[in-house]
Amino acid sequence: MALSAETGKVVQWRRWAFANLGSVLSNFGSLWLLLAPLLAAYAPRRLFKTYFNLFLRRHARRLLAVVDPYVTVDVSEPGGASAHYSRYGRVTDSGDSTYEEVKAYLSDGCAGEARELRAEGASEGDGVVISMRDGQDVADEFRGAALWWTSVVREDAQGQQRAHTRRCQRLTFHHRDRRLVVDEYLPHVRRKGREILFSNRRRRLYTNNKSGDSFRYDYKAWSYIDFDHPTTFDTLAMDTARKREIIDDLDAFRSDRDFYRRAGKPWKRGYLLHGPPGTGKSTMIAAMANYLDYDIYDVELTVVKDNNDLRRLLIETTSKSIIVIEDIDCSLDLTGDRAATQRRGRQNDRDDGSRRHDRDGSMVTLSGLLNFIDGLWSACVGERIVVFTTNHVDKLDAALIRRGRMDMRIEMSYCGIEAFKTLAKNYLDVDDHRLFGPVGEILGRESITPADVAECLMTAKRAGSDDESSRLEIVIDELKQTAEANAKAKAEAEAKAKAEAEEEAKAAEMDRDNTREEQNGRKSPKI
């Protein structure tokens, strides 16, 4: 009840203030005309300024709040450079990114109402960024609340000699919507702005620099180029059903942020791509990056000094990215043959199976790589995919590719008829033909990689004939020759491997004989 009485008093006061505002201001003006000469003559200038700032301005603001119920919020552009390279190479924000996010939000939606616009060159690419000119304003609406954005230029004093001009986006709204604007609308604007900035950026392909150069003042852990690979899942030579399964898995990962949080798991996923050379493992990574619109971080383990540097590389990656380690069975000693490794005299950590190289090379261990994949530090950035590729999955340590680290194994096999149809469409623009039957018989009988099939199709394309049958006949001849060449190369490789195995067996037998002779010599009594 007391609250209702207090509210009634406020209403009565506001009614009286509006009714008598003219007379109050008139009396105040008359009083000021009498006091101003006295204050100017007898009061020190500093005392006058202090009195005005601390007393009169405060009461003026209270009076203004009764007359004008609107609140303004300025979102200013950063004062200096908005980005810089950290010690380990990633571009990081040195200031607040709110201004750019608000600017992107207004450029995408609200700026369409403005009649006078400003065009600025995009930081990446040849496009332009459209924004409002100074003094222009646009209206926005959020959950029933009316809001207005105005582009203004503000002058910030920086010392006595100069002033700095800074642009800002000014938001105006009714004071009753203060909580809605602060708690919901402004976070909504920032999220939408980040999405727009992300979608307009150029994707990048990163590679890590040698860790030994980290003492240099200009050292950057990552170097990058713009990533512009044309491969998509539509042009990827692969079985259609398997391709659909991978796409569905990627879609589920991208939209399952809340699920990962509820389950208490870092928002990441691992893929193991394995298969013979030429089956499209690297092409699959490019298709995944293009489909998800992610950056790629290509990690070269042989130039990483130790586990600590590997951890730093992980910290410097961003979300919405794919971390790739290609040919992981060749990068370091990460195979599963631990006993053989111990016999060769390498250090073997019995607890975690880690191995160390000499001091001049990489000291990255299996344990360090496992922590890199799914340790505590792996949760520092969300929405990230880890991809390993290998030609020999059976050589990898089981701890490296177990479930939970590599969530999905994708076998990149030899070319089948489904993959051939995709390649025929890509190279010859042929959807279907009667000669696809003989081609399917050859591919079902022989082990031919998609890379070899693509080369056969390229040969047919360069033949110059426009007839589909003639081109496909050339493809069939090329496939037969490729199959014969592969069979010959396979036989030679098997013969070479057999000879090397026999040589190793002979060498091992000689070592055993020498060892027995040495032992017998030590046991024989002296005469």
Encode pLDDT of 225-278 as tens digits: 999 899 999 999 999 999 999 999 999 999 998 898 899 888 999 999 999 999
Any idea what the Cα angle at residue 175 is, between residues 169 and 177, rounded to 5°?
A: 85
Cβ atoms of 436 and 417 within 8 Å: the answer is yes
pLDDT at 216 over 80: no
The rounded distance, in Å, linking the Cα atoms of 499 and 314 is: 44
pLDDT given for residue 229 in this prediction: 92
**Can you give the pTM of this predicted structure?**
0.70
Q: Identify which of 155-159, 292-296, 343-347, 506-510 has the greatest average pLDDT.
A: 292-296
pLDDT in the model for residue 201? 80
Q: Interior CA angle at 318 toward 311 and 404, to 5°?
A: 65
> 470 is written with which tokens?
């003639």
Q: What is the C-alpha separation between 39 and 46, in angstroms, rounded? A: 12
Indicate whether 291 pLDDT > 90. yes
- Map out the domains of the chain as residue ranges: 2-68, 74-156+163-201, 205-411, 416-527
With cut-offs at 50, 70 and 90, classify the pLDDT of residue 114: low
Distance (Å, whole) CA 194 – CA 104:
8
Would you say 152 and 72 are in contact if contact means Cβ atoms under 8 Å apart?
no
The β-bridge partners of 254 are none
How much is the pLDDT for 80? 52
CB 270 within 8 A of CB 301: no
- Report residue 439: phi and psi, to 5°: -65, -45
**Positive or negative, the Cα torsion across 429, 431, 433, 438?**
positive
Q: Is the pLDDT of residue 524 over 70?
A: no
Question: Which CATH architecture fits 205-411?
Answer: 3-Layer(aba) Sandwich (3.40)
The answer to whether the beta carbons of residues 149 and 137 sit under 8 Å apart is yes
Query: Residue 289, Cα to own-chain centre: how many angstroms?
Result: 10
Give the type of residue at 307. Answer: N
State both tokens at 509.
């037998």
- Cα 195-201-204 angle, rounded to 5 deg: 120
Q: Note every long-range contact of 508-515, with CB atoms under 8 Å and residues 24 or more positions apart, other chains counting.
A: none
Q: What is the maximal distance between C-alpha atoms in the chain?
A: 136
